[in-house]
Chain A
Amino acid sequence: GAVVSQHPSWVICKSGTSVKIECRSLDFQATTMFWYRQFPKQSLMLMATSNEGSKATYEQGVEKDKFLINHASLTLSTLTVTSAHPEDSSFYICSAQGQMNTEAFFGQGTRLTVV
């Protein structure tokens, strides 16, 4: 299958700082990228959907000013957690899709720890 690379795999940051997570589709053009948050032993909670060149669509309850999403090209989307707090500590994972209603390929995820 197609390859989606997410970077970094893990990051530790101090409270109040910002962290950027990158999601790249390596061998296909991703018209849509999804960002999820996954708590231990829980499901994938969709945070936002981003389409290349347009503003991301956020799910209810997700603060768009806190979780900044940029999808500047067909192969790269970034999630920036601004002014991070310990409660933002989680596993963040992206997925990329070439065409609507087709398989979405997942990145390896980023373990964020805010201290």
Chain B
Amino acid sequence: GENVEQHPSTLSVQEGDSAVIKCTYSDSASNYFPWYKQELGKRPQLIIDIRSNVGEKKDQRIAVTLNKTAKHFSLHITETQPEDSAVYFCAATDSWGKFQFGAGTQVVVTP
């Protein structure tokens, strides 16, 4: 089955700087890669997703890049703000459409 690895596990950035989280996956048939943000005590919320036929997608301060050949994808957050502090999970769907999540990255944005 699919195996998703996510790095780093924690990321501390100064407000205004950029944050980058990287994930790799194992199933070459995976074709949907969502990113979820989970604030403490709340449910995960989708922030951006990308499909395998696209190399990059951007939504305001958030962007995701996908390299299918290398089987890795990354989340980029620019101009970070304190409200960006949360745990971020990447995921990949395997051949059966099951979501497999990465281990998560705790992002802390310091003022």
Q: A34: CB under 8 A from chain B? A: yes
Is B34 a contact partner of A43 (Cβ separation < 8 A)? no
Tell me the B73-111 residues at the A interface (CB within 8 Å): 89, 93, 96-104, 106
Cβ contacts A37-53/B at 8 Å (1 or 0 each)? 00001111010010000
Chain B residues whose CB sits within 8 angstroms of the CB of A97 once the complex forms: 97
With A and B bound together, what is the CA distance between A34 and B104 in angstroms? 18
Chain A residues whose CB sits within 8 angstroms of the CB of B42 once the complex forms: 108
How many of chain B's residues touch chain A, expressed as a range? 20 to 34
Q: B46: CB under 8 A from chain A? A: yes
Which residue of B has the minimal Cβ distance to A32? B97
A interface: dominant SS? strand
Is B34 a contact partner of A103 (Cβ separation < 8 A)? yes
Chain A residues whose CB sits within 8 angstroms of the CB of B100 once the complex forms: 46
Q: A54: CB under 8 A from chain B? A: no
Q: B45: CB under 8 A from chain A? A: yes
**Given known A42-B104, A43-B103, contact A101–B97 (CB-CB < 8 A):** yes
Is B43 a contact partner of A106 (Cβ separation < 8 A)? yes
Closest CB pairs A-B (n = 7): A101-B32, A100-B97, A106-B43, A43-B103, A44-B101, A43-B104, A106-B44
Q: A57-B96, A100-B93, A108-B42 are in contact. List 16 more A-B contacts (CB 8 A).
A: A1-B46, A34-B98, A34-B99, A43-B101, A44-B44, A44-B101, A46-B98, A49-B96, A49-B98, A93-B44, A97-B97, A103-B34, A103-B49, A104-B34, A106-B43, A109-B43
